[in-house]
């Protein structure tokens, strides 16, 4: 094995194609994009060098900071929700439903495979106010709570929570399955020994299950945080970033800047900021988990 | 020249002659509005000129600018294309991908088929150049439900104060005064633009462009406040920001709202008997009312020529000239006769039975003293976005009129 790893020809044959693909698909566009951040212009008018002015503009742009704040706020809440409810569901499958959990697992997993646009349409209808009341407003009206009837998606505060609820609901099934497989890997002997020592319920979860499940939880968190920091489709389909720009994450701001406003250089600068954010979050989580 | 070279040259010449297809990239469906009329005329032309086959391509309006940029970057723009960004069109003109239509139409001897008022509007929007076709000539105003007005003892309002008073009367009786699509956003900014035009005069946005007026000036803040007040009093109905275009039009056509501010392109929806439950005879139109102390006149109307449509200069040869001549000398008559559309092309045969609302619009158009463009017509895409996005927050009271206008003024820089 060691001899094979020292053989540069073997390395070239085994690693080369994958490395080449990685470089062409990932590294080249990132470097290319980095180059764009130093320019201003469009594909038609041409690009010209502007130095670091896009970075200066980024630091002074209130729309960028508000999009960044939205992305972070959203990512923290949704990731926490997805992994927490995923964990609760996994524990439910494993300890209460046991062998009969197949149907429930399938049902909870169903939204994961549904297209985001379809799920968003469903939520638009659930929270609608015009032309007809959606489910929630109809319910409030039926129980004579008309004062609470409101345009849930038409005002920034409530629209944010609708997006959070939708994305937690949509993805918790995936994390439930991931964590459930982690639970399956915990040896029954260990659990049995803990039970004999008097650990039951929350104590068993706290001292045995959660520590053994930590690697899977950390992986889930990295997946979830990176996915939620890059949220695009659910926001676009549900609110389009509005009302105003109150539900605009970095990704949507980057997209609009590049493709609607034709400011490719500045759009790339926002993309670089987003990449850095994802890298920092991943590094923090990996480092913390290693320390533990 | 060898036989082989001669044969090759002949093939090339033949190929050039044969390959003169005309492609139209449109945001409309093929059976809709101007795209339908152009498609029918192009296919008619194709029957006698098989060397000019016509093809239609569709692009959603939200992706149009992006698609055009990618096509233009690879020099692959189609023959005729919709374009919704004047700045982008200016760049395409400079890079030889958009034709000077004044020169083209004059060369073909058909410049007199263009309505001078429509030409002037296009030139105002495009630095004095005629670079798009006036496929429509739309007038904008408040369309109202005559039955609802009569039942509540209301008359067409002449001033903004009367309009607000009428709205209050309707609202007090449980009727929604205005239908508006806050989801589309622009129906809200149109009201701010209209108010500003009455306050400062029809050339208000040209003065903003020239820098002699600032959007933070008191008249603009007053305009934003006036529109915000309508929103705060719920005159646009509940959840205005979630109401899409079709829903807003349906609210009006089902008698659920008394008024809607809209351009005359909406006539195709009004003339659709399946959607219109209140009847075309029951619909009236009044201009944006006067405002206190305003310099603008109610003889000035907001006009536009529909979604801009340009011709690719790269294909602007004799073959395309023949196609243009055939299609656009017939376009005005056909659009009016078949769809009741008012266009920027002269009409030589007026149909006997025009739809009632088309006649009404024509009458109003004839009386126009000065035309003005919509609020964001001179704005960059970024400033347009700032204007429309924040209008949603304005009508819900989440941003003050001062903040709205100062954000917009900043975006103009």
A96 touches chain B (CB under 8 A): no
Contact B241 A154 (CB under 8 A): yes
What's the distance, CA A81 to chain centroid? 11
Is pLDDT above 60 for A104? Answer: yes
The residues, any chain, with a CB within 8 Å of residue A278's CB and separated by 6 or more, are A226, A229, A230
> A38 with A47: CB under 8 angstroms?
no
Contacts of B248 in chain A (CB under 8 A): none
Q: Which two tokens stand for residue B316?
A: 């602007």
> A289 pLDDT band (50/70/90 cuts)?
confident
Q: Tell me how close the Cα of B192 comes to any Cα of chain A, in angstroms.
A: 16
Give the 3-state secondary structure of B333-400.
Answer: HHHHHHHCCCCCECCCCCCCCCCHHHHHHHHHHHCCCEEECCCCCCCCHHHHHHHHHHHHHHHCCCCC
| Cis omega (within 30 of 0) for bond into A243 | yes
Mutation for B interface: A153, A244, A253, most B CBs within 10 A: A244
DSSP one-letter string for B62-98: GGHHHHHHHHHHTT---SEEE---HHHHHHHHHTT-S
Strand ranges, E, within B251-308? 257-263, 283-286, 300-304
Count other C-beta atoms under 10 Å from residue A188's C-beta: 8
Spatial neighbors of B212 by CB under 8 A, at least 6 apart, are none
Under an 8 A CB cutoff, do B242 and A130 touch?
Answer: yes
Mutate to test the interface with A, among B63, B76, B389 (most CBs of A within 10 A): B389
Q: Would the CA dihedral through A46, A51, A55, A56 be positive or negative? A: negative
Burial class (CB in 10 A: 0-12, 13-18, 19+), A102: exposed
Are the beta carbons of A243 and B392 separated by less than 8 Å? Answer: yes
In this predicted model, what pLDDT tens digit does every residue of B145-174 receive, in sequence order? 999 999 999 999 999 999 999 999 999 999
pLDDT (0 to 100) of residue B6 = 52
* Dist. CA A271–CA A253, nearest whole Å: 10
Cis peptide before A131 (omega within 30 of 0): yes
CB contact under 8 A, A246 and B393: yes
Q: State the average pLDDT over residues A244-267.
A: 93
**What gap in Å lies between CA B360 and CA B356, rounded to an integer?**
6
Cα–Cα distance, B270 to B260 (Å, whole number): 12
Is residue A288 scored above 90 in pLDDT?
no
ipTM beyond 0.90? no
How many other CB atoms sit within 10 Å of the CB of residue B247? 17
**pLDDT of amino acid B14:** 44
In this prediction, the residues of chain B whose per-residue pLDDT falls under 50 are: 1-2, 8, 10-18
Interface contact A244-B65, CB threshold 8 A: no
From residue B29, give the alpha-carbon distance in Å to each of A175, B37, B171, B267: 42, 12, 37, 17
**Which of B237, B381, B393 is nearest residue A243 as measured by Cβ atoms?**
B393
Question: Within 13 Å and on the Cβ side, how many CA atoms surround A252?
Answer: 25
Q: What is the mean pLDDT of residues A75-94?
A: 95
Residue A105 contacts B, CB cutoff 8 Å: no
Could you report the per-residue pLDDT of A151-196, keeping only the tens digit for each?
Answer: 999 998 899 999 999 999 999 999 999 999 999 999 999 999 999 9
Cβ contact B393–A131 (<8 Å): no
Q: A130: closest CA among B46, B259, B244, B207?
A: B244
- Taking each continuous run of H as one helix and of E as one strand, the counts in chain B are 17, 10
What pLDDT is stored for residue B294 in this prediction?
97
* C-alpha dist (Å) from residue A103 to B197, B244, B321: 63, 38, 67
Task: Identify whether the C-beta of residue A163 lies closer than 8 Å to the C-beta of residue A235.
Answer: yes
- Tell me B280's DSSP state: G
Q: What is the mean pLDDT of chain A?
A: 92
Identify which of B87, B242, B389 has the shortest CB distance to residue A151: B242
- Which of 171-230 (A) contact B at CB < 8 A? none
Give residues with Cβ within 8 angstroms of B409, minimum separation 6.
B214, B215, B216
Which among B364, B188, B372 is positioned nearest to B296, based on CA atoms? B372
Judge contact between B296 and B205, C-beta under 8 A: no
Helix (H) or strand (E) holding B25: strand B22-26
Nearest CB to A151 within list B85, B241, B393: B241
Tell me how far apart the terminal alpha carbons of chain B are, to the nearest angstrom: 61
pLDDT of residue B4: 53
């Amino acid at each position: 094995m060691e001899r094979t790893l020292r053989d540069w020809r073997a390395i070239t044959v085994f690693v080369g194609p994958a490395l080449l693909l990685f470089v062409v698909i990932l590294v080249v566009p990132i470097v290319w994009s980095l180059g764009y951040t130093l320019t201003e212009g469009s594909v038609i008018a041409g690009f010209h060098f502007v130095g670091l002015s896009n970075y200066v503009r980024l630091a002074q742009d209130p729309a960028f900071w508000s999009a960044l704040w939205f992305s972070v706020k959203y990512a923290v809440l949704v990731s926490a929700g997805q992994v927490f409810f995923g964990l609760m569901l996994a524990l439910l499958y494993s300890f209460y439903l046991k062998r009969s959990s197949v149907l429930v697992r399938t049902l909870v997993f169903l939204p994961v495979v549904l297209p985001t646009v379809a799920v968003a349409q469903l939520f638009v209808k659930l929270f609608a106010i015009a032309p007809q009341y959606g489910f929630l407003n109809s319910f409030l009206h039926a129980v004579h709570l008309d004062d609470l009837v409101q345009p849930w998606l038409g005002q920034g505060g409530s629209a944010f929570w609708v997006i959070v609820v939708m994305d937690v609901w949509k993805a918790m099934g995936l994390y439930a399955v991931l964590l459930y497989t982690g639970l399956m890997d915990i040896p029954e002997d260990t659990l049995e020994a803990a039970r004999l020592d008097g650990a039951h319920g929350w104590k068993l979860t706290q001292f045995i299950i959660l520590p053994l499940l930590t690697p899977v939880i950390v992986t889930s968190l990295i997946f979830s945080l990176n996915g939620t920091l890059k949220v695009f489709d659910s926001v676009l389909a549900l609110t389009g970033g509005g009302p105003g720009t109150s539900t605009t994450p970095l990704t949507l701001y980057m997209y609009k800047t590049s493709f609607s406003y034709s400011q490719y250089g500045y759009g790339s600068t926002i993309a670089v900021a987003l990449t850095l954010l994802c890298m920092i979050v991943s590094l923090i989580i990996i480092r913390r988990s290693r320390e533990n | 020249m060898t036989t082989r070279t001669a044969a090759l040259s002949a093939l090339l010449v033949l190929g050039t002659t044969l390959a003169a297809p005309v492609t139209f990239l449109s945001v409309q469906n093929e059976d809709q509005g101007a795209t339908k009329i152009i498609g029918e005329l192009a296919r008619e032309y194709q029957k006698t000129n098989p060397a000019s086959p016509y093809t239609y391509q569709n692009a959603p309006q939200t992706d149009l600018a992006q698609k055009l940029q990618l096509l233009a970057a690879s020099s692959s723009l189609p023959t005729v294309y919709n374009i919704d960004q004047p700045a982008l069109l200016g760049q395409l003109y400079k890079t030889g991908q958009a034709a000077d239509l004044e020169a083209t139409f004059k060369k073909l001897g058909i410049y007199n088929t263009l309505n001078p008022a429509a030409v002037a509007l296009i030139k105002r929007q495009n630095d004095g150049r005629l670079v798009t076709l006036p496929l429509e000539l739309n007038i904008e105003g408040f369309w109202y439900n005559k039955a609802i007005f009569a039942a509540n003892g209301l008359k067409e309002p002449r001033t903004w104060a009367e309009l607000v008073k009428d709205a209050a009367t309707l609202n007090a009786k449980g009727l929604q005064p205005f239908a508006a699509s806050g989801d589309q956003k622009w129906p809200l900014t149109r009201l701010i633009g209209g108010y500003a035009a009455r306050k400062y005069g029809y050339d208000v946005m040209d003065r903003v462009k020239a820098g002699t007026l600032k959007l933070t000036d008191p008249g603009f803040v007053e305009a934003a406040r006036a529109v915000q007040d309508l929103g705060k009093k719920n005159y646009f109905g509940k959840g205005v920001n979630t109401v899409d275009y079709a829903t807003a039009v349906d609210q009006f056509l089902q008698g659920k709202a008394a008024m809607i501010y809209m351009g005359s392109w909406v006539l195709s929806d009004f003339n659709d008997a399946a959607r219109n439950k209140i009847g075309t005879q029951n619909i009236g139109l009044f201009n944006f009312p006067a405002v206190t102390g305003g310099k603008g006149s109610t003889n000035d109307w907001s006009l536009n020529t529909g979604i801009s449509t340009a011709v690719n200069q790269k294909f602007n040869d004799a073959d395309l000239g023949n196609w243009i001549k055939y299609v656009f000398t017939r376009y005005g008559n056909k659009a009016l006769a078949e769809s009741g559309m008012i266009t920027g092309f002269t009409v030589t045969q007026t149909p006997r039975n025009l739809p009632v609302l088309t006649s009404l619009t024509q009458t109003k158009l004839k009386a126009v003293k000065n035309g003005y463009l919509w609020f964001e017509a001179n704005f960059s895409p970024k400033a347009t976005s700032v204007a429309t996005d924040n209008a949603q927050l304005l009508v819900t009271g989440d941003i003050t009129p001062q903040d709205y206008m100062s954000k917009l003024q900043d975006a103009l820089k």
